[in-house]
Structure 1
Amino acid sequence: MITVEDARSIMTECLSMSDGPATIDLDSPVVIDSFTLVWILHLLEERHDIEIAPEQADFPSSMSVREFHGYLATTFPDRVSRES
Structure 2
Amino acid sequence: MPPSITAADLAELLAQVIPDSPRITDPDTPFVLDSLMLTWLLHLLEERHGVALAGDEPQLDDELTLNELAELINGAARAETAPS
TM-score of Structure 1 vs Structure 2, range by shorter chain? 0.7 to 0.9
Provide the residue aligned with 2:37 in structure 1.
36
Amino acid of the residue matched to residue 17 of structure 2? C
Q: What's the CA shift string for 1:22-79, capped at 9, x where partnerless?
A: 343111111111111111111111101222343x33313321111100101211138x
Q: Give the corresponding residue for 1:6.
A: 9
| Pair 1:57-2:74 in alignment | no
TM-score (norm 1): 0.73
Structure ranking higher in strand proportion:
1
State how far apart, in whole Å, the 2-side matches of 1:76 and 1:46 are: 14
Matches within 5 A, 1:18-37: 19-37=20-38
Matching residue of 2:71: 70
Task: Give the count of matched residue pairs.
Answer: 76
- CA distance in 2 between counterparts of 1:53 and 1:23 reads 23
Whether the 8 Å contact between 2:30 and 2:65 is mirrored in structure 1 is yes
More divergent stretch after superposition (29-38 vs 57-66): 57-66
Structure having the higher Rg: 2
